[in-house]
Amino acid sequence: MRGEESSDSESGRMEESSVRRSLETLCQELNMDEQTAAEAMDNFTAIWNTYTLEGEVVHWLACALYAACRKGSTPTVGKGLMEGNCVSLTRILRCAKLSLIQFFSKMRKWADMSNLSQDFRLRMDRLERNFEVSTVIFRKFEPIFRDMFVNPQGCEAPRQPRSRKHRRLPCHISDVFKFCWTLFVYTKGNFRMIGDDLVNSYHLLLCCLDLVFGNALLCANRKELINPAFRGLPPTFLADGCVPQSELPPCVLEKLCELHDGLVVEAKGIKQHYFKPYIQKLFQKQILKGNETLLTEMLDPQNFIENNKAVNREYEEYVLTVGDFDERVFLGADADEEIGTPRKFVQERAASQAAAQNQQVEKCGSLAPSTPLTGRVYLKEKDLLVTPVSSATQSVSRLQSMVAGLRTAPSENLLQNFKSCSRDPTESILARVKTLGRTFKEHYTNDSEDTPGSHIDFAENRWKLAEILYYKVLENVLVQETKRLQGRDMSVLLEQDIFHCSLMACCLEVVLFSYSSQRTFPWIIKVFKLAPFYFFKVIEVFIRSEEGLSRDMVKHLNSVEEQVLESRAWTSDSALWSSLEVAGNKVPTVEEVSRNCNTG
């Protein structure tokens, strides 16, 4: 027995020695500081001695290193303390030969085994969500770019002359492709509320493409960069292949929305309130060089190399200190390996989370019935009619059409209905809506347990749509109830605070769902402090009163009903119990239920 114990002990020491060598090799490649390396080794050893770790040891070491890296902070000149130790997740994964998708899977297990903090877990959730959105967006970026510009693939860029005396060569199309994507991910990273939002991120991408396209048209008439078949070309270009230098850069945002599933109002809002002011700021800081007034000349030979270097440098700093995941990985030749089967991942995860409202269509892959000719197996990605982006934007478009032409106020007909009541509820209804609006916007713009706060502009937009929908549905409810009750006084219904709060919550739930928000049920009833039981009672009324709801919206509300019926209505503090008591119904005890089941 002693001999066996000695052998096991020696084997354990050899294994630990091997693990330490693997960690040392990894840390040397990353130029990791000793403190972080020691903490990672201590944490790894504790987990290794407690759990069975399947797969390659170096992959688990990468998880331990990442967790240790993210705990500390690094002092910097002029910027105080930076989060982390300036070693990016991308570098860790490259050195450990671990794909992003494998990392997310292993990191979730590591967080459980290590009992990592809730803050760290939320950080991982946001990082994974951001990655999913970026994966979907990049798959849209490539075909849109090829639609606007000549195909960057298969063209080698000419080498820049080493001597500074030589005139700089014009930028190549492959450089423009990479510059446009890097500018997009850098800009997106500076708007935290946009990064994990599919609809907003997509419209930000269209803004970037619009800016770069305008610069290309005015860049000494670089005709060879432009796809002559692009349907957004200005008439002057089609006539003689040139655009006067004195002209403002042409805006093709509307055309891009028309051709590629965008929403003009949303895209223009992103451009006006976020993108354009931010690009102006980059010019003011000399990160971008060119015509600061027109936001042009970025691609001109005298500016492009510096602009490209500056944007990449700034983005690298962002990745090291805040972003973790370097989204330029999509541009690399080894993107598939580094990300880890991205196409399958997008279909199975990004499509379900970033465009949840399209789950049923995603299963069959097409709006057409699944047959040997239309089945997903036989179609290329570009041939599918529905994508996560088109699904999300179509859902928002449907919502906007439901409220088109209506105001954020009761209609004249609704006001007349109010006045016909024995007690006019107009004043109390308007006051309640105002209070609910303040509550919603306050919570929507503040960080919650699992989502970062959004910008007030987005909160205002979501509230505006919900408010219009609320008055529309309320009017429809009154019309239906008046017919059903044969003209009886509606005062009692209109004075019920719970009814109005539940109806507004239902409207907001539909709006948030349409925008693929992470703040879906039960977020809104927590914000309004509504009992799930009361919210449940309004859903059927809402669906019956609004004919414009899409099939996906109805399915989502039905899933909320199921959640309430399955669990939320039966909690100890549920309003259901008091409602049963008021109704005079005797609630059976657990013993009675068990006895009946046994005798049956």
**Region 223-248 average pLDDT:** 72
Enter the DSSP assignment of 291.
B
208 close to 275: Cβ distance less than 8 angstroms = yes
Q: Is the confidence at residue 600, as pLDDT, over 50? A: no
Q: Name the most confidently modeled range: 215-219, 277-281, 398-402.
A: 277-281
**Region 285-302 average pLDDT:** 91
Q: Which amino acid belongs to residue 63?
A: C
Q: Is the confidence at residue 156, as pLDDT, over 70? A: no
Say what the pLDDT of residue 361 is: 30
3-state secondary structure at position 225: helix
> What is the distance between the alpha carbons of residues 355 and 360, in angstroms, rounded to a whole number?
11
Say what the pLDDT of residue 575 is: 52
Lookup: tokens for 2? 């002693």
Q: Please, which residues have CB within 8 angstroms of residue 198's CB and are 6 or more apart in sequence?
A: 133, 136, 137, 354, 355, 388, 389, 392, 516
Q: Which of 63, 76, 45, 41 is nearest to 120 (CA)?
A: 63
More confident site: 386 or 388: 388
Say what the pLDDT of residue 482 is: 80
Q: Helices 426-445 and 497-514 sit at what angle, rounded to 10 degrees?
A: 40
Q: pLDDT grade, residue 565 (50/70/90)?
A: confident
Find the range with the poorest average confidence among 77-81, 434-438, 568-572: 77-81
More confident site: 6 or 463: 463
Find the range with the poorest average confidence among 348-357, 372-381, 409-418, 587-596: 372-381
Q: Which of 286, 325, 293, 327 is nearest to 309 (CA)?
A: 286
Question: Strand (E) positions, 525-566?
Answer: none
Domains of the chain with CATH codes = 2-116 (1.10.472.10), 125-157+169-334 (no CATH), 405-582 (1.10.472.10)
Q: Is the confidence at residue 574, as pLDDT, over 60? A: no
Q: pLDDT grade, residue 528 (50/70/90)?
A: very high
Residue 444 exposed, middle or buried by CB count within 10 Å (0-12, 13-18, 19+): buried
Say what the pLDDT of residue 443 is: 92
Say what the pLDDT of residue 487 is: 66
Q: Name the most confidently modeled range: 17-26, 201-210, 212-221, 417-426.
A: 201-210
Q: Please, which residues have CB within 8 angstroms of residue 423's CB and are 6 or more apart in sequence?
A: 491, 495
3-state secondary structure at position 80: strand
Say what the pLDDT of residue 31 is: 86
Question: What value, to the nearest 5°, has the Cα angle with vertex 324 and ends 95 and 514?
Answer: 130
Phi, psi dihedrals of residue 196, rounded to the nearest 5°? -105, 20
3-state secondary structure at position 146: helix
Find the range with the poorest average confidence among 21-30, 82-91, 416-425, 524-533: 82-91
Q: Is the confidence at residue 54, as pLDDT, over 70? A: yes
Q: For the chain, give the mean pLDDT.
A: 79
Q: Is the confidence at residue 351, as pLDDT, over 80? A: no
542: Cα separation from own chain's centroid: 28
Say what the pLDDT of residue 427 is: 93
How confident is the model over 389-411, as pLDDT tens digits?
Answer: 888 888 898 999 999 999 999 99
Lookup: tokens for 572? 């100890």
